[in-house]
A and B are shown apart, each in its own frame.
Chain A
Amino acid sequence: MPIDMNAVGVFIAYLIAIAIIGYFGAKRTKTIADFVAASGQLGFWTYVLLMLGAVMSGMTLIGVSGLGFTSGWANLWERVIGPPFAISFGTVLIGYKLWTLRKKYQVWTMQDYFAIRYEDPKYLRALAGIISAVTCFVYLIGQYTAIGIVSEIVLGIPYFWGSLIALIIVVGYVMSGGMFSTAWTTFLQSLLMVLGVYITAPIIIGWVGGWEQFNELVSQVPMLQAANRGVEPSHLFGPFLDEPFAPSPAIPLVGWVYNLTLFGLTVPLGLMVGPHIVNNVLCYKESKYTRWGPVIMYVLGVILMLGTSLSGLAARVAWAQGKIEIASLTLAGGVTVKWSDMAYPTIAKAALPYGLFLFLLPCILAGVMSTTDRLLVTAASNIAYDVVKNVIKPTISDRTIMWISRIVVLIVGVGSWLLALTPQPLLAWFIWAALSLMVNCFFWPIIGGLYWKRMNKHAARWGMLVGFIVTLASFAIWGKTIMIPGVVAMYAVVPGFIASTIVTIILAYATKPHPEELLRETLTGAFIKAK
């Protein structure tokens, strides 16, 4: 594919804008609290858009639309609801209480909270920090995959070079400006993403006939793909595209059990307790942001996710009609599959006027970069601030810690990029694997810690460790899907969740809870608002 010089121009202009904002963020960053959590100084819209940008990522614009292409409405409704639920209800259930604790105890990261709530300033903090860094690393692989896809399909720049350029820019501004650069660049990025999807999705749906006709065509995809593509009507979940889920529990990805375990458990809860999301709720300035912020995030998020998902589904209709071609991807072993993650950029190129297509380019890049930078800051905070400063050498100076953070950003950024050079056919699988680790390691320590008085450090430590090990073992043994043929198919998150839940509950009841005074001071109990 020839390089589109106009698109490259827009790409460069976008990168320059981001670099300038990153530079001002770097000037504002003086202390480790600035680097890790912008010293809790973010305003209302910066916070709302930061949360939106942290979950609406390369996964949204590339992965979610790819999944819309693959499985249609069958689980689309859960994908649409999961991430907005996570950030809005996360702000209510986690942010409201943690904000008070942040003011009281200088809590800047999730691990700071664990250290205070569980009277465990070393082991639990180190364990949570290392697990968090690993999950961010896995999550990052997916983000670089998305950047590579966008640059190849939209710009004509090869996957390798596109992802490398983005790596250099993002790592550069995160190394220099930490959380301030991340939050300010995300403000612009989220705004672009919202505008881009809100404007282009209706045009794309209009291009395949408008809302009603589009939905009727979705029902006809089995017939259309058989007639125009020479594939079986059942190819790629054809019969379930207009259903909310497949009626049989035995079908992977679209069956109702799979839906429940992946989109009902892993996505909403994994995102809600993900370190990069929880750390965001420690960055805003005033408690009143938790009042209307959640509903605004939710509404903006649902429309954004719906627009992206439906653009992917529109690409499926257009492909079945023979109107567009989706690029192929050859996997290890020589198997060639349709690269469904190409759905959004491909249909955008066909359906949008050229000028608008050029405008969409920075929007898609924005989506990818806004999560990438947040994950890099989180991984750096985990290693430098949580492990090195608070566990290994508390006397270390802020200046040294910031340099260690920068080196971690570089190592994590480059390492995850190297692994992203071999892409998966569906980017979403990387993200879901990371979310599985997050829910199985952090759900009980965070939610149990805030709302359950019996939750103690033994339950938190072992629940976290067992969740981590069992989740990794499940993916190693079963891959993505645990199947009992003809009976049930479920996502591989389940054993880890059951194991961490059982271990947590047994240890919470078998060992002593923390003193009542500490529980009162840390706002622990079955309430959101303290009396």
Chain B
Amino acid sequence: MYQLALQAILSVQERILGMQPHTFACLVIPVIVQVIILLVWGAKWRPPPE
């Protein structure tokens, strides 16, 4: 999925919000991936053993 998203963004020739497409991809993809990991952590969280 990560590869597909990256390829989809890199195939865009025009600027995204004024940015180079690959610069935009390098900023947005890691942030989204890390937020998803942290949300999954929160959803699956349980108290540590006392």
Task: Tell me the bound Cα distance from A77 to B25 in angstroms.
Answer: 10
Q: Find the A residue at minimum CB distance from B26.
A: A244
Contact A529 B17 (CB under 8 A): no
The distance from the CB of A245 to the nearest CB of chain B, in whole angstroms, is 8
Contact A215 B18 (CB under 8 A): yes
Contact B50 A103 (CB under 8 A): yes
Give chain A interface residues in 238-295, CB to chain B under 8 Å.
242-245, 287-288, 290-292, 294-295
B22 CB contacts on chain A under 8 angstroms: 243-244
The distance from the CB of A22 to the nearest CB of chain B, in whole angstroms, is 33
B27 CB contacts on chain A under 8 angstroms: 73, 76-77, 80, 244
B41 CB contacts on chain A under 8 angstroms: 92, 291, 294-295
B42 CB contacts on chain A under 8 angstroms: 291-292, 294-295
Contact A530 B48 (CB under 8 A): yes
B38 at the interface (CB under 8 A from A): yes
A299 CB contacts on chain B under 8 angstroms: 35
Say whether, besides A100-B50, A291-B45, A243 and B23 are in contact (CB < 8 Å): yes
Task: Tell me the bound Cα distance from A484 to B27 in angstroms.
Answer: 29
Contact B34 A298 (CB under 8 A): yes
Q: Find the B residue at minimum CB distance from A530.
A: B49
Q: What number of A residues sit within 8 Å (CB to CB) of B?
A: 37
The distance from the CB of B10 to the nearest CB of chain A, in whole angstroms, is 11
Q: Find the A residue at minimum CB distance from B40.
A: A295
B34 CB contacts on chain A under 8 angstroms: 81, 85, 88-89, 298
Task: Tell me the bound Cα distance from A294 to B35 in angstroms.
Answer: 9
A468 CB contacts on chain B under 8 angstroms: none
Task: Tell me the bound Cα distance from A81 to B30 in angstroms.
Answer: 8
Contact A100 B49 (CB under 8 A): yes
Q: Write 6 A-B pairs (CB below 8 A) sorted by A numbering.
A: A77-B27, A99-B48, A100-B50, A211-B18, A294-B42, A295-B35
Q: A73-B23, A242-B20, A243-B23 are in contact. List 9 more A-B contacts (CB 8 A).
A: A77-B27, A89-B38, A96-B48, A97-B48, A212-B18, A243-B20, A244-B26, A294-B41, A530-B49
